Amino acid sequence: MACFQRVVTSSLLLMITLLLGFSEAKEILIGGKTDAWKIPSSESDSLNNWAESARFRIGDSLVWKYDSQKDSVLQVTREAYLSCNTSNPIEEHKDGNTKVKLDRSGPFYFISGAGGHCVKGQKLIVVVLSQRHRYTGISPAPSPEEFEGPAVAPTSAATSLKGSLVVSLGLMLWGLF
């Protein structure tokens, strides 16, 4: 009986650890590298392509590394993003090591503050998943009429969690026999 209790306790601790690991806020380096905030060399090099394959959650922080003498990061409205209007940003960052906390679900729009960079493609849309987001097998991206930006691909966290729980249950049952 004591062996069974140890197995159950260990399994519960493992499951709690796994669940907490999925909910941790992260610092995400834009483009996955320090020199990513620049005019893309091609459309396939666009930061929006990178953002489409990433998962952003409330509480995560985006981090930009760039030369503060030559560039800046502007958080803007959808309209300013589409027209590359730098005149009235929501937030302006010029420090070369910008960190923006994602405090709500939905789209965030960023453009370069350097003259002419936005129209050459140096801009980014990040879509933050809601706290209740669950994997349904269907992309939750809005229609083009509602939102002009990258689609949000379905998350695989639910699949990973199910797999972890199955493994934990298997280990627990294996310990009983």
Q: What whole-number distance in Å separates Cα of residue 124 and Cα of residue 35? A: 15
Share of the chain above pLDDT 90, in %: 55
Q: Return the domain boundaries, the chain.
A: 25-155
Higher pLDDT, 8 or 107: 107
Domain topology for 25-155: Immunoglobulin-like (2.60.40)
Tell me the pLDDT band of 10, cut-offs 50, 70 and 90: low
Question: Which tens digits make up the pLDDT trace of 89-138?
Answer: 999 999 999 999 999 999 999 999 999 999 999 999 999 998 765 444 44
* 22-31, 57-66, 91-100, 161-170: segment of lowest average pLDDT: 161-170
Burial 60-97 (b: 16+ CB within 10 A, else e): bebebebeeeebbbbbbeeebbeebebeebeeebeebe
Contacts 24+ apart (CB under 8 A), 79-85: 80/109, 80/111, 81/109, 81/110, 81/111, 81/123, 81/125, 82/148, 84/111, 84/118, 84/119, 84/123
Residue pair 59/25 in contact by the 8 Å Cβ criterion = yes
pLDDT tier, 49 (very low <50, low <70, confident <90, very high otherwise): very high
pTM > 0.85: yes or no = no
Contact 100, 93 (CB under 8 A): yes
- Among residues 34, 39, 37, 35, the alpha carbon closest in space to that of 116 is found at 39
Determine the average pLDDT of the residues in 141-159: 44
pLDDT in tens, 157-172: 444 444 454 455 455 5
Distance CA 21, CA 173 (A): 24
Q: Where is pLDDT greater, at 125 or 152?
A: 125
**Residue 112 in 3-state DSSP?**
strand
